[in-house]
Structure 1
């Protein structure tokens, strides 16, 4: 049986582990944190990722745990609507699916439940990878693998080691806040409101909770202090129910992070027996809601390319490898071919939207808002179809 070592137990890493196990691989996931459960974060899972999750038997479970993104759209900071969307229109364009909303922790729990017991090793940091031989260095020794999946995040040490001259992720010019808020009685609309250099989004989840996120155009490296008080200062005079939601929030549920993205695409998403996945391969701004979705796509494509039981059946020189001689680099070239161009386009498109949200000048903001509103009124079908290239993706057939 071929062996895979997955570095990182985020959504992409867990999806890859499930997909590979379903193809007959012996999989171990190494996670340096002590827990799988994130705090204070929600997630939008779009039609393309739902189709990918269907291939590993998890799609319907996610749908049952989620709220469907209903009627919503884009608003100004005073509450005026710039554009409206409907779940019916989105579902009709994407085979019955649109976008579902749920806690990130719920998706992690579903993926974990599909793994064989003992697959995930917490508190275990991988300190080095030999890409040619598929050997990972662990606190208690070394392990050989036929395939190494580097799902180790935006500041991936594995990516830096494999492509040492490649530009590091770039600061996108905004910092972000994320929080979950008990919000009984809040209208069930998902929307994103744009102001002068600032954004506030609301995503109603199942069970009377709202996931909120916000960005502001500030220098990198800020933070510290009471971040909930900072959010109330920045958005307390925006339209209802934003002030009410922030009034109901708890300080310990607020996460703040500077937003970085991989502005220069990698030359490949693999090297030797190592495949880069998710943020490690194509970190993007959150403006299209596709970061986790693209990681999920990566995972099911990688498992398809790797094949049943593994088509590279050994790692020369690896400790504990399965003893064959196939070249992982040749096999993984198919993974790069399937994923690099698509993810690069989505990274660039998301970054372009981020730049538009950073506009602060009154005249520029007024022109931006006017163009968005006119586009929606004059060509709604074109606006609705703008995401078709992203959502209409289909997973590879087995």
Structure 2
């Protein structure tokens, strides 16, 4: 049975990238987004060379680099302002074959949406997977306007993915990391050097966007579900007395533009990223802590790799098995590495945190390569090249599993 319609559940960065990748591989795509508009929750996103190479595959890498602020200079500091480690943009680009860049999530979402055919994205459309499909029948996604049959379904419905629960009902789902985050974007109150500052049980980062705004984020240990009546006052309480530009940013921000989210992650990996004719990607498959800034990057990788393995006309079940074999080990390792970084960043004891900072400062004296080494195997990733024609049903044996 030949089905050439792909349905993507979720209109975020991963879902839109998957829709573009599949459209370029011959699929007719429909993106179903529950919200009334493609208005991403979040502030800015850092794109490392790995995700930029993925975007190059779908023809958007250069456009992203044009719109984004190039990152890499700056480094890590103590709350009083002493530099723990300095980073160099040129060293980063030389090591990983490209720069780190930063842009607003809304900018990236708009760029992705514009690359899709007119009418491909349907907002205000809740979608529920009602049949994952099989070799002899399509998958079925139910919407308020009726059911949609699909030869391939991509579930990019986020960390609380209903599709994941349908496919893997016995999986425990994401676990709480032990800390919460705040994010904000405001006009920059003045020039500053990009930094991430580590204190006991909390950290703060400030980075410039290309349009003159500043993206700032904070992270601190906290019980799950706790919220402050005034998040600005909460940030002032936690980061009072920290070095510039943190006081100026907190003075300029309004409480209503501060986003706060508890951090959950996929502590227990899924057994597979597919079932039937359905593929999971991004947070739905492997939600990770933000400490390596790889969540969105890995969703983009997922989407492009899926497109590489699943051109229209391929045996979808074998292609999705190959996708799982490719993506599950890599993302599981990054989820675990991000969790280790989260534990290190949120050490709560002041003496232990001071020792951590001293050790990091000592290591950084050997040069920026030592500091960057933690991203080896992540930022230097390159997408797989297509190895078979669209009408081929052959895959390498190592990419075939029975699921």
Asked whether the two chains share a fold, i.e. TM above 0.5, the reply is yes
Unaligned residue ranges in structure 2 (runs of 5+): 387-403
Is 1:387 aligned to 2:375, yes or no?
yes
1:341 is matched with 329
In 2: Cα distance, 1:87 partner to 1:349 partner: 23
Is the Cα–Cα contact under 8 Å of residues 8 and 32 in structure 1 kept in the other structure? yes
Say if 1:40 and 1:264 are closer, same or farther in 2 by CA, change over 3 A: closer
Equivalents in 2 of 1:31, 1:147: separation in Å?
17
Alignment of 1:1-398 (within 5 A): 2-38=4-40, 41-95=43-97, 97-132=98-133, 133-187=138-192, 189-307=193-311, 309-312=312-315, 328-378=316-366, 380-398=368-386
Instruction: Answer yes or no: is the 8 Å Cα contact 2:130–2:141 preserved in 1.
Output: yes
Report the number of matched residues. Answer: 380
SS of equivalent residue, structure 1 residue 222: coil
Distance 1:105 1:310 in 2: 33
The answer on whether the counterparts of 1:40 and 1:254 sit within 8 Å (CA) in structure 2 is no
SS in 2 for 1:57: coil
Retained in 2: the 8 A contact 1:30–1:121?
yes
Provide the TM-score with structure 2 as the length reference.
0.92
Q: Is this contact kept in 1: 2:77–2:85, CA < 8 A?
A: yes
CA distance in structure 2 between the partners assigned to 1:58 and 1:99 by the alignment: 16
**2:189–2:249 CA contact under 8 A, matched in 1:** no
C-alpha contact 1:159 1:280 (8 A) present in aligned 2: yes
User: Is contact 2:189-2:252 (8 Å) kept?
Assistant: no
Structure 1 contact 40–180 (Cα < 8 Å) conserved: no
**Kept in 1: contact 2:91–2:369 (CA 8 A):** no
For residues 38 and 274 of structure 1, what CA distance do their matches in structure 2 show? 24
Any conservation in 2 of the 1:192–1:201 contact (CA below 8 Å)? Answer: yes
Unaligned runs of 5+ in 1: 313-327
Q: Higher mean Cα deviation, 230-239 or 342-351?
A: 230-239
The aligned residue for residue 322 of structure 1 is: none
Counterpart for residue 316 of structure 1: none
Q: CA deviation at 1:311?
A: 1.4
Contact 1:28–1:121 (Cα < 8 Å) also in 2: yes
Deviation at 1:37, TM superposition (A): 2.0
Shift of 1:163: 0.8
Residues 197 and 177 of structure 1: is their aligned pair in 2 closer, same or farther, counting only changes over 3 Å? same
Counterpart CA distance in 1 for 2:344 and 2:159 is: 23
RMSD: 1.3
Q: Answer yes or no: is the 8 Å Cα contact 2:73–2:194 preserved in 1.
A: yes
Report how far residue 330 of structure 1 moved.
2.2
Preserved contact between residue 201 and residue 212 of structure 1 (Cα < 8 Å): yes
